[in-house]
Structure 1
Amino acid sequence: MIRIALRTLAAAVSALLACAVVIAAVALEGTPRVRIQDQVSVADVQRARAVLARHDPRRGNGIRVRTVTLTAQDVTLLLQYARARWRSAAATNVKVRRGAMDVQASLELTGIPFGRWLNVDAELTEGPGLPRVARLTAGRVRVPAFAANAVVGWLLHRAQPGTPLAVARETVKRVRFVQDSVSVEYVWTRDAGARIGTMLVPEADVQRIEAYNAELAKRVVIVAGASDLPLADVLRPMLRLVNDRSVHGDAASEHRAMIATVALYVTGISLDRWIAPAATWPRPARRRVTLNGRDDLAKHFLVSAVVASQSGSALADAVGVTKEVDDSHGGTGFSFADIAADRAGRRYGQLATSNPQKLQSIVAQRLEERDLMPRVTDLPESMTASAFAARFGEVGAPRYEAMLRTIDARLDRLRLFR
């Protein structure tokens, strides 16, 4: 009897495994159904910034119930950012109609013999709390809605604090779909920022940032006699620490953490704004960090480096151009020198994460300011919107693109970017 039972169990397990293999073979496909889009426009970034400004949940105290409305394009942009942030090959198409949202997504999987792409087609409908799955297809497999909702419910129930699913479970009260837009009602409490910070900054990155913050605090004290700090002088010791920590670790992740730490310091943003334990860490003495003798260029460089290292070059370029367009309307004016710093920072962020060995070899020979930034004193600056339009037309016009080619040619000659 025992032998019969064991044989029956083995046969059942084999049958289940065979079914799983068949389902995987049918669900996975050789090509994506949704085309990956890497272009991010200035208008996309401006719209996202406007939404964030209008719905900054940190304003006010106590428990607040708020509603944010996003267009289908906003949702697509957020999903594109998430794809880049978590460095996954994926593409998403979103269409919103009254009462429902249609989502098409293609996610690349590696190491699977049946196919590289999981193509998902889903319909989400309104309900109490988070949306419910009304229809779900994975490749050629039709998944019953009740099964999909049961899995989602189980995942939400089991989600650990600080994870995206847990934050959604705790803060989102209702999602409504209207024509071409999504309305999200959420509750913001005093500790919501800390929970979201935990979600955005994993524990491994918190430990990395703590190490780089300690090194930064030590180094700026050593050079405290000088009023200004060239960016290269700040980066050199930090990059040596990156090299030491990368011997038995992930070099790209170490570079990302270091760049973020230095960027927050240079822009004057406190680490404890997003990382609660940072409130007890040593605080580096405040110093003015410069690039080519200017602190604005250092800030442009580092912000673009952070965005490129975390989210990709398309978003980094769009963020930089958006800042200059804003400045041309009553700010400091449109500056191609700032654009040069943005593009240099973008290249640095890409290099640090895609080819850290090249960066480390240059650091070993001594990193200099001329390795980070080309000459920019002859580039047009401080242009109002009308002055910019008179000389260059608009962003993307031939004369504007010619200036970008001039800047890129100078960057190509730098030792870091050859």
Structure 2
Amino acid sequence: MIKHLLRLPLYCLGTLLAIGVIIILFGVSDHPDVQLGWTLGHEDILRARKILREGSKTSPDEIGTLVLSKEDLNLAANYLLNRYSKSAVEISLKANKLKFIVTATLPENPLGKYLNITIRLGNADDGPLPTVTKFKAGKLLLPSSIAAYLIDYGIRHSALNAYFLLATRQIQAVKIDPDKITVTYFSDLKTLIQARQLLSPEASTSAFNDYQKKLGEIVAGHDPKWRLSFADLLKPLFTLAYQRSDLNNAIDENKLAIIALNDYINKQETHRFLTSANASTPYYAAFMYKRSDLAQHFIGSATLTASMNGQVSKVVGEEKELSDADGGSGFSFVDLAADKAGTRFGELATASPEQARKFQKALSEIKGYNDIMPDPTDLPEHMNESEFKSRYGSTSSPAYQRLSQEIDERIAAIPLYKPD
């Protein structure tokens, strides 16, 4: 009897593995169920900001509600999916059910290019939280109870578990209506602190401190009679990344180097970390092509791309320039070029372990900032809103797209960004 009981967990594990294999076999295909190539527009950016503001209005230890339309859900879900891989999701609301059709791009394999999953959620027996009512892998329909268990098991035994617990622990109820969902949640101070720690870059690790220390050494040794070149910061940090890395940690080291640079260049108040070892260490702006704003745009976009999403970085750059045209410093294709170059930089620095290592080595051998960004100073800038509309109309006009393409071609011509 004991012998049989001891075998039971093995039988259960074997069953789960078999079901997992079946899902992969039926769910993998050469054809995506959802069209890939999701693009984030300017209206999406505005709506995302509104959602974030609404979610932040609730004070700690208060009950809050968040109402999301089908468009909001699709925006948020596609944004999150594309932080990690080239994927897409189509969300629909029908008959008080929430339906997800998800297509994820897979690494090269003999089975197929895409994994297609369909999940439907509903409030069973008028419960406050929705449960899985339908699950399909390709054309294979699984019982909802088995699917729910597999999803829960997969989340709890992956890197998603911390995010899952943080989100679900505070949700009190989710009401699904034909045109929206209403989330009721309780926000306590402890959870807000945990969320900040989870979603913010880890700045207290010894590895990050090593990059901060290296920056401090560079700045401490800088001759104030000369401009501080962005390359004089970048090259030593990626030399350090190359020395610290192998294929297992190259991407993470590149992210730390980029984040450390951004903390110095774009957040002047954080230059205090440089003074921890030497209170007299000054702060100097970093320059590219005799302009400090180009270094700020470049590394800001690189950081956003490396830690989040290249598509988001691209649109945020355009959104910033359009905002500047409306009462700010004016629309600048010069700044936009720096944004685009930074986005490309962030993409390649974190594309794959092999690419990350090649990138480190190449950056440890650069001679100047022209090795990472073409000269943009001949491009139009300082255009107010009326002048921008008169010359280019909008970001979707042929005139704008031609100049945007020219900037892309200039960046692509830099050897660092050329394919192997």
TM-score with structure 1 length normalisation? 0.81
What is the aligned counterpart of 2:333 among 324, 331, 336?
A: 336
340-349 vs 175-184, which moves further: 175-184
CA shift, 1:329, in A, is: 1.6
Give the letter for the 2:256 counterpart: A
Distance change in 2, residues 1:290/1:31 (3 Å): same
Contact 1:84 1:312 survives alignment (8 Å): yes
Q: 1:372 is matched with which residue?
A: 372
The 8 Å contact of residues 162 and 199 in structure 1, kept in 2 or not, is answered as: no
**Cα gap change, 1:114 to 1:267, in 2 (>3 Å):** same
Stretch moving more, 214-223 or 390-399: 214-223
* 1:396 equivalenced with 2:402 (yes/no): no
Contact 1:161/1:167 (8 A) holds in 2 = no
Cα RMSD (Å): 4.0
Q: 1:320, 1:339 within 8 Å by CA — same for their partners in 2?
A: yes
Partner of 2:45: 45
Deviation of 1:336 after TM superposition, in Å, equals 0.9
Instruction: Structure 2: state its 5+ residue gaps.
Output: none
Of all paired residues, the percent bearing the same amino acid is 27
The CA deviation string for residues 347-386 of structure 1, in whole angstroms up to 9 with x for no partner, is 2112222333553343343341222333333322221211
Q: 1:123 to 1:388 in 2, by over 3 A?
A: same
User: What residue is the counterpart of 2:302 in the other structure?
Assistant: 305
Report runs of 4+ in structure 1 exceeding 6 Å deviation: 11-15, 17-20, 153-162, 202-205, 281-284
- Residue 296 in 1 paired to residue 293 in 2? yes
Classify the secondary structure of the residue corresponding to 1:55.
helix
When residues 306 and 98 of structure 1 are mapped into structure 2, their CA distance, relative to the original with a 3 A threshold, is farther
Q: Is the 8 A contact 1:97 1:177 kept in 2?
A: no
Deviation, structure 1 residue 206: 4.9
Aligned residues: 407
1:348 aligns with 2:316: no
2:70–2:179 contact (8 Å) kept in structure 1: yes
Whole-Å separation in 2 of the counterparts to 1:397 and 1:75: 29
Is structure 2 residue 70 aligned with structure 1 residue 72?
yes
CA contact (8 A) 1:41 1:318 kept: yes
1:195-344 residue pairs with structure 2 within 5 A?
195-200=194-199, 206=205, 208-223=207-222, 225=224, 229-247=228-246, 249-268=248-267, 286-344=283-341
Matched with 1:83 is 81
Segment of structure 1 superposing worse, 232-241 or 132-141: 132-141
Name the CA distance, whole Å, in 1 between partners of 2:269 and 2:187: 21
CA offsets 1:269-315 (integer angstroms, 9 cap, x no match): 878xxxxxx9xx87986432333232322221112112222344322
Q: Which amino acid aligns with 2:377?
A: T
Deviates more, 1:101-110 or 1:359-368: 359-368
Paired AA for residue 324 in structure 1:
E
The answer to whether 1:168 aligns with 2:167 is yes
1:311 & 1:220 partners in 2: Cα distance? 28
Q: 1:73 to 1:110 in 2, by over 3 A?
A: same
Task: State how far apart, in whole Å, the 1-side matches of 2:356 and 2:158 are.
Answer: 34
Name the counterpart of 1:383: 383
Name the TM-score, length of structure 2 as normaliser.
Answer: 0.81
2 CA distance for matches of 1:23 and 1:399?
48
Deviation at 1:207, TM superposition (A): 5.3
**Distance across 2 between alignment mates of 1:171 and 1:269:** 35
